[in-house]
Amino acid sequence: MDKVKVVAMRELMTHLKRPSFWWMTFGMPILLLALGLAIAAISAFAIASSDDDEGESEEPPMAVVDHAGLVNLAQLNSVASNDVDVEDMAKVLDELEVRDSIKDWLKKRVFESFQPAEAREFYRSYPDEEQAEADLIKDELSAVLILDADFRNTYHARLIQRDRKEDRVSVREIEAHLRDNLLAELVSPDRVRLVKRPLTDLERTYLDPTTPPDELNRIMEGIKVYLLPLMLIMMMLFALLGTTDRMIRGMVEEKQNRVIEVLLSSVSADQLMAGKVLGLGAVGMVQLVIWNAGVILPMGMLAGIFKLGIGTWLVFGVFFVMGYFLLATIILGFGSLGANLQEAGQWYMVFVMLALSPMFMLPNILEDPTGLIARILTYFPLSAPITVVARLGSESIGWWEGTLSGLVLLGSIVIAIRISAKVFRIGILMTGKTPNPIELWRAWRHS
What is the full per-residue pLDDT of the chain (447 aa) written as tens digits?
A: 678 888 888 888 887 888 877 887 787 778 877 887 888 788 777 766 665 554 445 678 888 998 888 888 877 776 555 555 556 666 666 666 556 666 676 666 666 555 554 556 788 889 888 888 888 888 888 888 999 888 888 888 888 887 766 566 778 888 888 888 888 888 777 777 777 777 767 776 666 655 554 555 565 666 666 666 677 667 766 666 666 667 777 776 776 667 777 777 788 777 887 888 788 778 877 877 777 666 555 555 555 555 566 777 788 788 888 888 888 888 888 877 776 667 777 777 888 888 888 888 878 887 888 888 888 989 999 888 888 887 876 667 788 888 899 999 999 988 988 888 888 877 776 666 667 777 777 777 776
| Cβ-Cβ contacts under 8 Å for 78 (sequence gap 6 or more) | 116
Answering whether pTM is above 0.85, one says: no
CA distances from 365 to 224, 230, 277, 320, 368 (A): 14, 13, 31, 19, 5
What residue ranges of the chain are covered by domains with CATH 3.40.190?
61-82+117-196
| CATH no. of 61-82+117-196 | 3.40.190
Distance separating alpha carbons of residues 341 and 393, to the nearest angstrom: 36
Distance separating alpha carbons of residues 389 and 20, to the nearest angstrom: 34
Distance separating alpha carbons of residues 141 and 296, to the nearest angstrom: 55
Distance separating alpha carbons of residues 266 and 212, to the nearest angstrom: 62
Distance separating alpha carbons of residues 432 and 371, to the nearest angstrom: 48
Q: Are 7 and 276 in contact (CB under 8 A)?
A: yes
